[in-house]
Chains A and B, each alone.
Chain A
């Protein structure tokens, strides 16, 4: 192997160099490996989803007897309507959206105002607060479970239990150290000259926040939103504990509960409906998801 440096050194190269890539002994096995990996990812990543979509519109007996056959006795479109109306998936779907929108709003409000206060306004107590926020990142979620439940039963100042109200899922979602630190670091990276210019133009802290900092922060707000929405849609244990009233429970809580008394075809249709929104949101905002996923590792570090 020659080690002569070629002129076309690419700036974003990977382990295999362009010169390596030109050699068939490298290119052919690597390409084969990539094709095998692609097939594997299709089978493991995509096929379960497609199977769910197929079974949602397949008669129950076909799914039970020949789960891998493709519509041996035609379709059962009625599964979807049964799930939506008779099993009340429609109601739980709306509940899930309500839970998600509220959690998303609370997370954004707490993270942006808090991040702005700690990173830009910098009150004297900013260091203490960001230290306390950071510290919660190291406390495993299990520690919160019981005391947080009791706090929901007897919240301070409010005087009435938050049990069976959406506030019980919305407000604790705001206490996300991950969000606050992510937004805070982004605000710290904004150019201070812009803030100074705005201040000399007479903009107060509220104008600065609303008209300058927020519009400049769209990328990070996108990341926080996408993860907040996915987490809210996925949450199971907490809503199960604080929303015991079936009528207001989200899908994640209702789906396991209805499993035993629901016809299998209808049940799989319900599962398919529940995965639809997250999958569609992901396919629309892939870049935000995938970039944010990488960012997650950077911030947690």
Chain B
């Protein structure tokens, strides 16, 4: 350890040296490790360290590694080998890949048509509730609280294709014949979307309810002065005011549905005859179900393509909506 006197002497010496040196080589005397510590640099670093380590090892490094790995052949025995675009070619030549793309698109489209407008309509109606408003929110949020695995397994039983199945019993009350639900190639995907919509709608409703309370009351007052009725106020005040949040929930929904895994994995495991095999299920199969060792290259190549596609989608949509709102 250096004493304080030695430190001052050292600092003075550095200062003298700096004067005698040419300007280009001049060392900055105020940037020694000791002054850094005394200015709180150490405690700053100590507080940043957990974040740096956890994000570094479990987020930044794996993200960077996935880009490298998509151009490599990785098995856990020998050193990784660079193979150029081979992994991407492998994915593109896999017939299941195109099936998975079509299925994922179909899932996303169905989820958009059924699941996107529903929470908005419900939230607008709920925001007008004068009594027991909390009860409405709690009931709407209950499906979100259930562990996703439990609700999928529960719905799997509800989707029992026998006439004694839960949903088929209910349909029977209305005189509708039993449906095959997840056992038919046609009905399986809509059944998955139905459960996914049920599980997610409550969360979106709560986001919209919060956004609705932040609409400035003066805007409604002003619309009334201009003679707007209830529909007029919804169309000219509420919806434009919610535009930002509607954009966010749309992007989040597309990003979420493009990565759907739990429903196809647990309900049908991709079946019947690959009618519900999605991109994420394919990534999982490439990497983790091959008994000869995972095809990590193909799995990362496919996930990277999906990520780039999703990034492009959000940029494109962001550009378009900005142009429309400028016009």
Contact = CB atoms under 8 A, between A and B. Distances in A.
Interface of A: 1, 3, 5, 9-17, 20-21, 26, 30, 33-34, 37-38, 41-42, 44-46, 48-49, 51-52, 64-68, 106, 109-110, 113-114, 116-118, 121-123, 125, 129, 132-133, 136, 138-151, 153, 155-156, 171-172, 174-175, 177, 180, 204-206, 209, 230, 233-234, 236-237, 241, 251-252, 255-256, 259, 264, 268, 271, 274-275, 278-279, 282-283, 286, 289-291, 293-298, 300-301
A268 B157 contact: yes
A175 B60 CA distance: 9
A204 B43 contact: yes
B324 interface: no
A117 B48 contact: yes
Contacts of A5: 221, 225
A67 B164 contact: yes
Contacts of A65: 164
The 4 closest A-B pairs by CB, nearest first: A294-B210, A114-B51, A293-B206, A297-B207
B263 to A, nearest CB: 11
B171 to A, nearest CB: 11
A136 B55 contact: yes
B12 interface: no
A278 B146 contact: yes
Given A9-B221, A10-B217, A156-B57, A297 B211 contact: yes
Contacts of A140: 255, 258-259, 303, 306-307, 310
Interface in B237-270: 237-238, 244-245, 248-249, 252, 255, 258-259, 261-262, 265-266
Interface stretch (B3-11, B63-71, B89-97, B181-189): B63-71
20 contacts: A14-B212, A15-B234, A34-B128, A38-B139, A67-B164, A67-B166, A68-B169, A68-B170, A113-B48, A114-B50, A114-B51, A125-B48, A141-B259, A147-B66, A156-B57, A175-B58, A268-B154, A271-B150, A294-B209, A295-B210
Contacts of A51: 166
Contacts of A10: 217
B266 to A, nearest CB: 6
B122 A175 contact: no
B283 A129 contact: no
Contact of A290 (B206, B217, B299): B206
Contact of A30 (B128, B258, B311): B128
A133 to B, nearest CB: 6
B296 interface: yes
Contacts of A180: 51
A272 to B, nearest CB: 9
Contacts of A110: 50-51, 54-55
B230 interface: yes
Contacts of A116: 47
B126 interface: yes
B40 interface: yes
A6 B138 CA distance: 34
Nearest to A116: B47
B106 interface: no
Interface residues of B, number: 112
Contacts of B314: 138
A144 B54 contact: no
Interface stretch (B15-23, B107-115, B129-137): B129-137
B54, B141, B148 — most chain A CB neighbours (10 Å): B54
Given A15-B127, A15-B233, A46-B142, A143 B47 contact: no
Best-surrounded residue of B154, B203, B262 (most CB of chain A within 10 A): B154
Contact of A151 (B43, B61, B211): B61
Nearest to B165: A67
A3 B150 contact: no
B178 interface: no
A113 B154 contact: no
A256 B62 contact: no
B255 to A, nearest CB: 6
Nearest to A140: B307
Interface string B15-50: 000000000000000000000000011011101111
A244 B62 CA distance: 21
A33 B122 CA distance: 11
B193 to A, nearest CB: 15
A151 B57 contact: yes
B200 to A, nearest CB: 12
B149 A252 contact: yes
